[in-house]
C-alpha cells in the first residue's frame, strides 16, 4: 500500500513538475512561454533594458543556470562575451553546449551580414554575422517550431500539449503577420540610419535600406570623423529617421539630427525594452510605429 501511495505521489509530481528554462533574450522567453504554457517556468537571464552583448554576470544568474533543465540562447556570438564562463561555473550537465538541454536558436536562422574577414582585435562583435534576428517578426515562426520540438524532446510525456500549443500559436501568429505585413506595405520610410545594426532583419524584411551606422564598427563608439561622414550620407540620401536603441548614448544621434533635420526615434530591440513593448505583438508593433510614423 505504502509503495502504491509513493508511486502515485511520484507520478503526480512528475505530471505537475514544471520545466525550468533559462533564456538569454526576452523575446525567446516570450515565445517559450507561449509554447510551454503552465508546463514551464521561464527565466530570462539578460535584461532587455541593456546591451545584449554585455550582460553583467551576476551570481543570481549562476543560481538560475544551476537549476535549469533547458537553456535557450540567441547564439550567433551574441552571448560570447559573458555566458560561456557562467555555463562552466554552473556545472549543470543538462545545459552544457552539446547536451540535450542546450539550444542555440541561431543554428536554425539564416544569418545575414556575415563578414568576409574579421578581426575581433578591431572590436567587431558581429564576427559570426548579425545576431539580431529577433527583430524580424517572421522569425518568431521558426523560434516557435524549434522550441516546441525541443520541449517535446526533453519532456516527452507532454509532447502532445506542446504540439497543441504550437498549432494554436502558429495560427495566431500567422494571422498577426498577415495584418502586420499589410500595414508595413504602407510604411513611407524607405531609408534610415541606426546606432547599432539591431534592426537589419526587420529592415530587410520590409525593404527599408539602412544607409549607415553611428558606430563605425559593431561595438565601437562613434568618432567625430565617422559622424561627420555620416551627416553627409544622411543628407545625400534624404534620411528622415535615426534608429536609436534604449541602451546606447543618444548624443551622437541627436547631433546628427540637429545637423540634418532627421528625427531620432527610440526603437526597442527586445520584448520589454520599452514600456509599450511588453508583449510579443507590442514589441513588433512598437518597432513598426517608431520607424514608419
Ligand atoms: Zn550587435
Domain boundaries, the chain: 8-177, 187-292
pLDDT at 118: 57
| Centroid of ligand 1 to alpha carbon of 219 (angstroms) | 7
DSSP 288: H
How many angstroms is it from 115 CA to the middle of ligand 1? 13
Please give the chain's pLDDT, 293 residues, in tens.
555 555 554 444 445 679 999 999 999 999 999 999 999 999 999 999 999 999 998 999 999 999 999 999 999 999 999 999 999 999 999 999 999 999 999 999 999 998 876 555 555 789 889 999 999 999 999 999 999 999 999 999 999 999 999 999 999 999 999 999 999 999 999 999 999 999 999 999 999 999 999 999 999 999 999 999 999 999 999 999 999 999 999 999 999 999 999 999 999 999 999 999 999 999 999 999 999 98
All three cell numbers of 97: 553546449
Give 284 Cα–ligand 1 centroid separation in angstroms: 18
List phi, psi (to 5°) of 209: -100, 130
The yes-or-no answer to whether 8-177 and 187-292 have a common fold is: yes
The set of cell numbers assigned to 103 is: 539550444
Distance 134 CA to ligand 1 centre (A): 12
| pLDDT the model gives residue 3 | 53
Ligand 1 centroid – CA 244 distance (Å): 13
Sort 259 into a burial class: Cβ within 10 Å, 0-12 / 13-18 / 19+: middle
Fold of 187-292: Rossmann fold (3.40.50)
**Per the structure block, which three cell numbers stand in for 68?**
535549469
Calculate how far, in angstroms, residue 129's C-alpha sits from the geometric centre of ligand 1: 9
5 C-alpha vs ligand 1 centroid, how far in Å? 54
Phi, psi of 11 (to 5 degrees): -60, -45
* CB distance 14 to 129 below 8 Å: no
How remote is the CA of residue 264 from the centroid of ligand 1, in Å? 19
Per-residue pLDDT at 26: 98
User: Which backbone phi and psi does 143 adopt, to 5 degrees?
Assistant: -55, -45
pLDDT value at residue 85: 96
Cα separation, 213 vs 204, in Å, equals 15
Q: Where are the alpha helices (DSSP H) in the chain?
A: 2-16, 26-36, 59-67, 83-90, 139-154, 159-184, 200-205, 224-237, 251-260, 280-292
250 Cα–ligand 1 center, Å: 17
Distance 132 CA to ligand 1 centre (A): 6
26 CA → ligand 1 middle, Å: 15
CATH superfamily of 8-177: Nitrogenase molybdenum iron protein domain (3.40.50.1980)
CA–centroid distance, residue 164 to ligand 1 (Å):
34
What distance in angstroms lies between residue 197's CA and the mean position of ligand 1's atoms?
6
How far, in Å, from the CA of 3 to the mean position of ligand 1? 55
DSSP symbols for 197-219: S-SHHHHHHTT-EEEEESSSSTT
Strand partners, 191: 209
Asked if 205 contacts 291 with a C-beta cutoff of 8 angstroms, the reply is: no
Q: How far is the CA of 14 from the centre of ligand 1 (A)?
A: 40
pLDDT value, residue 10: 47
| pLDDT value, residue 210 | 97
| CA max distance for the chain | 83
The pLDDT value recorded for residue 96 is 97
CB contact at 8 A, 25 and 249 = no
pLDDT at 123: 59
d(CA 50, CA 28): 16
Q: How far is the CA of 77 from the centre of ligand 1 (A)?
A: 9
Q: Taking a C-beta distance cutoff of 8 angstroms, is the pair 210, 224 a contact?
A: no
CA 217 / ligand 1 centre spacing (Å): 10
- Residue 218 near residue 265, CB atoms below 8 Å: no
Q: How far apart are CA 224 and CA 228, in angstroms?
A: 6
Alpha-carbon torsion (269, 271, 276, 281), positive or negative: positive
Amino acid at each position: 500500500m505504502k509503495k502504491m501511495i509513493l508511486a502515485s505521489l511520484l507520478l503526480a509530481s512528475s505530471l505537475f513538475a514544471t520545466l525550468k528554462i533559462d533564456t538569454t533574450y526576452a523575446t525567446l522567453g516570450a515565445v517559450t512561454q507561449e509554447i510551454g504554457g503552465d508546463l514551464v517556468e521561464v527565466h530570462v537571464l539578460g535584461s532587455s533594458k541593456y546591451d545584449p552583448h554585455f550582460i553583467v554576470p551576476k551570481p543570481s544568474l549562476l543560481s538560475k543556470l544551476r537549476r535549469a533543465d533547458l537553456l535557450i540562447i540567441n547564439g550567433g556570438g551574441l552571448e560570447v562575451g559573458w555566458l560561456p564562463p557562467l555555463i562552466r561555473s554552473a556545472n549543470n550537465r543538462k545545459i552544457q553546449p552539446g547536451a540535450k538541454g542546450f539550444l542555440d536558436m541561431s543554428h536554425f536562422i539564416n544569418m545575414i551580414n556575415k563578414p568576409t574577414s574579421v578581426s575581433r582585435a578591431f572590436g567587431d562583435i558581429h564576427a559570426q554575422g548579425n545576431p539580431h534576428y529577433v527583430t524580424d517578426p517572421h522569425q518568431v515562426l521558426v523560434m516557435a517550431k524549434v522550441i516546441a520540438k525541443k520541449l517535446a524532446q526533453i519532456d516527452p510525456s507532454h509532447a502532445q500539449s506542446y504540439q497543441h500549443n504550437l498549432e494554436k500559436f502558429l495560427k495566431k501568429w500567422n494571422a498577426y503577420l498577415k495584418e502586420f505585413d499589410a500595414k508595413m506595405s504602407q510604411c513611407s520610410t524607405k531609408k534610415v540610419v541606426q546606432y547599432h545594426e539591431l534592426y537589419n532583419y526587420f529592415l530587410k524584411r520590409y525593404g527599408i535600406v539602412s544607409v549607415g551606422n553611428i558606430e563605425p564598427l559593431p561595438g565601437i563608439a562613434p568618432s567625430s570623423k565617422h559622424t561627420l561622414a555620416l551627416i553627409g550620407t544622411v543628407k545625400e540620401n534624404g534620411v528622415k529617421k535615426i534608429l536609436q536603441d534604449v541602451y546606447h548614448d543618444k548624443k551622437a544621434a541627436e547631433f546628427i539630427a540637429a545637423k540634418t533635420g532627421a528625427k531620432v526615434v527610440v526603437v526597442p530591440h527586445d520584448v520589454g525594452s520599452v514600456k509599450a513593448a511588453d508583449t510579443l505583438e507590442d514589441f513588433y508593433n512598437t518597432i513598426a510605429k517608431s520607424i514608419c510614423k
